Amino acid sequence: MRRCRAVAGVAAPLALSLLLVGCQKGSASKPAQQAFAGSDIERTIENQLAPQLQQKGLTAGAASCPAKVSPTADRPGACTLQVEGQPTRIKVVRSGTGFQVSVDQVVVNIASFEALAEHEEKQKYTFNCGSETAKVINVGGTVDCLATPQRKGGAVQFVATFSDLAGHFTLQPKTTN
């Protein structure tokens, strides 16, 4: 099993945690009981997370949140952001009188991932991991690729398993049972 490191442009979650301070009105004595307006969170996602994804070569679209979001210490709020046309889960946590938003799934830029996989393998392969621009998967999820040797030999199926939101992965030949 080959351990690989995440590289900028491969996984876009980036462990993004962006703070918006002062987005709630009212008394600071009961912040856990007050909800945030979904439209405020959507604006934060679109203004702060979307540009970070775009810098990684991914197209981010509209964010969508419930009308009111009330994250608690044991239950974060949830919104979605369209990334390459795929709904991507966004986590919303309370922070003081404001909130933080972060991408809560692994967003894999396929072209960047293929280039990294080609670089990491000792025998030179050309990787093809599908026709999508990006794949949105949960931590522990996999991406299947077909690797064609640049020299002799037949194509080999590989599977990449993503171990965290930063995009760290293991790459190994796929076994059939």
Q: What is the CA radius of gyration of the chain?
A: 19
Chain segment 116-164, per-residue pLDDT in tens? 887 776 667 888 998 999 999 999 999 999 988 877 778 889 999 999 9
The residue assigned the tokens 């931590």 is: 139
Which sequence spans correspond to the domains of the chain?
A: 18-105, 108-173
DSSP state of 174: P
pTM here is 0.75
How many residues appear in the chain? 177
CA distance readout (Å), 142 to 78, 101, 147: 23, 25, 15
* Separation CA 92–CA 73 (nearest Å): 11
- Examine the pLDDT at 14 and tell me if it is beyond 50: no
Chain segment 57-105, per-residue pLDDT in tens? 999 999 999 999 999 889 999 999 999 999 999 999 998 889 999 999 9
